[in-house]
Structure 1
Amino acid sequence: MLLPENISHLFSVIFIASLIRYFVIAGLAFLIYYIGLKNKVSYKKIQLKFPKATDYQREILYSLLTFLIFGIVGVLLYNPSVRPYTLTYYKISDYGWPYFIFSFFLTLLIHDTYFYWMHRLMHHPKLFKYFHKVHHQSTNPSPWTSFSFQPLEGFVEAGIFVVFAFVLPLHPIIMLSFLIFMTAYNVYGHLGWEWLPKDGHKHWFWKWLNSSLMHNQHHHYFKNNYGLYFSFWDRAMGTLDKNYEREFIALKERPKP
């Protein structure tokens, strides 16, 4: 799996691949929950109101800008002059199957740590309006919110690929798997419905995941719940919303009208 040598082709591949992931995964979630099942499961929506059409339009436009930035960063990292200096490898036998499989989970742990601390930093009052304000215009997020970033945040978010390129040996298949998983989990975080089971807030496994409700609280209240995939850092640093468990129980017990 080799990337194109031509710069314009390389940019096109990265940009178009980002568009496909976004519109397929976010679009499918939107079609299912915001159109197909809207009337049947609306009473279980975390925030009962639905965003306006103008919110969706803004989120999609900023997401397109984000993917342009991802394309620029991708070209900077994987053009023929820089690519040989990255740790990308192409033969699974170079590191073996155990590392190949383990490296996928390692990408999630590293990305979650990177995201938590960068996310908290972008919430600093002196930085928020320059980096993170656009994303928080979506106080009631939808699947389209998942990549709605202003340009400076787009570059911050793309910074994880710089870390991966020069710190962690990754096979292209693992990188592709990470990108698909990252997009899907990001859509779940902004979905507006909670998939975790009824006891998910206290279950020995599920409680360590960053749930859709956790991230919805973050958009609603503008604080706490800074994690991406996991709740490790929020629990360790005392930034898990104190009302999370109460709101989780109330959401799961919300009766059908």
Structure 2
Amino acid sequence: MGDDYLKLFVAETSWYNDIVLGSLLPESWWAPLPHFFRGWLRNYIGGTLLYFISGFLWCLYIYYLKKNVYVPKDAIPSNRAMLLQIYVAMKAMPWYCLLPTLSEHMIESGWTRCFSRISDVGWPLYILYIGIYLVIVEFGIYWMHRELHDIKPLYKYLHATHHIYNKQNTLSPFAGLAFHPLDGILQAVPHVVALFLVPMHFTTHIALLFIEAIWTANIHDCIHGKIWPVMGAGYHTIHHTTYRHNYGHYTIWMDWMFNTLRDPVEDEAKKL
């Protein structure tokens, strides 16, 4: 991959910096920073804004505007529980943002199989590559998450931080990023590993990394969407109560393949 082509990636990340940092901070605060640190600062500000905006809007909708429609009053988490989740997530956020920043650096350096323009491969291959990328990510996150449970020191020192939220009335969209920093990074690493295995559109990769923040908020809201084969909050709430089921991320397929799936609809039927 030639230097001229790699400059396309640098130009794109610089444009993102101009949009986020240029809109929110005086230029004298960030312009002198090296390119890598400008990227980290942009990811930190963007990730924090996305976390709070998506979390507050989702909580407002499901707990207040529509609380009697979707969630029983006794299942609404306390303000104290949500504030604790925000505290844990905010401590980890600076570290989380190192991963997309490192990812961008590797892409700009030509170490990955990323491409800059969809026209470089065409729409059919672009769609195929996204599909392969998502399968790799799903497989990687499933096994990373499962090993964080099965390897006892990893659970005790990393993943247990997230599993203090183990009941419906303690889970909220803000719990989605309430991890030990290394735990959160490990579970996102498959997004970066996939870049070395399959050609991937740069902009799409960055978008999917930040969509993670919205997705993790969604699967911690305790509302079962019943959209097959999506690994929605109904499945993930079971994970927080049994610790041994539903390790998957976007879909139920990996849990189905590796015999760790537990269906919330079947669970409800057994209670009747």
Partner secondary structure for residue 110 of structure 2: helix
Contact 1:214 1:244 in 2 (8 A): yes
Deviation at 1:96, TM superposition (A): 1.4
Contact 2:93 2:181 in 1 (8 A): no
Deviation at 1:100, TM superposition (A): 1.8
Could you tell me which residue of structure 2 aligns to residue 118 of structure 1?
144
- 1:60 paired with 2:60, answer no
More helix by share: 2
Q: TM-score, normalised by structure 1?
A: 0.82
Worse-superposed segment, 53-62 or 133-142: 53-62
Which amino acid is the alignment partner of residue 218 of structure 2? Y
> How many residues are treated as equivalent by the alignment?
239
Could you tell me which residue of structure 2 aligns to residue 87 of structure 1?
113
CA distance in 1, matches of 2:106, 2:163: 37
CA distance in 2, matches of 1:211, 1:73: 25
CA distance in 2, matches of 1:233, 1:77: 25
Could you tell me which residue of structure 1 aligns to residue 157 of structure 2?
130
Give runs of aligned pairs for residues 1-257 of structure 1, distance below 5 A. Answer: 2-4=12-14, 6-43=35-72, 48-79=74-105, 83-124=109-150, 125-139=152-166, 140=168, 141-196=171-226, 206=228, 208-241=229-262, 244-249=264-269
Q: Deviations over 1:36-63 (max 9, x none)?
A: 22234333x8xx4322222212211222
Q: TM-score, normalised by structure 2?
A: 0.78
Contact 2:137 2:194 in 1 (8 A): no
CA distance in 1, matches of 2:106, 2:249: 32
Identity of aligned residues (%): 25
Contact 2:117 2:201 in 1 (8 A): yes
Contact 2:162 2:178 in 1 (8 A): yes
Q: Deviations over 1:47-89 (max 9, x none)?
A: x432222221221122223331232223333238963222222
Contact 1:10 1:79 in 2 (8 A): no
CA distance in 1, matches of 2:107, 2:215: 33
Which amino acid is the alignment partner of residue 2 of structure 1? E
Q: Spell out structure 1 runs of 4+ moving beyond 6 A.
A: none
CA distance in 2, matches of 1:144, 1:176: 22
CA distance in 2, matches of 1:74, 1:132: 21
Deviation at 1:248, TM superposition (A): 4.6
Question: RCO higher in 1 or 2 (8 Å CA, sep ≥ 6)?
Answer: 1
Contact 2:40 2:97 in 1 (8 A): yes
CA distance in 1, matches of 2:68, 2:197: 47
Contact 1:62 1:149 in 2 (8 A): yes
CA distance in 2, matches of 1:136, 1:38: 25
106 and 60 in structure 1: CA distance in 2 versus 1, 3 angstrom threshold: farther
Which amino acid is the alignment partner of residue 181 of structure 2? P
Partner secondary structure for residue 184 of structure 2: helix
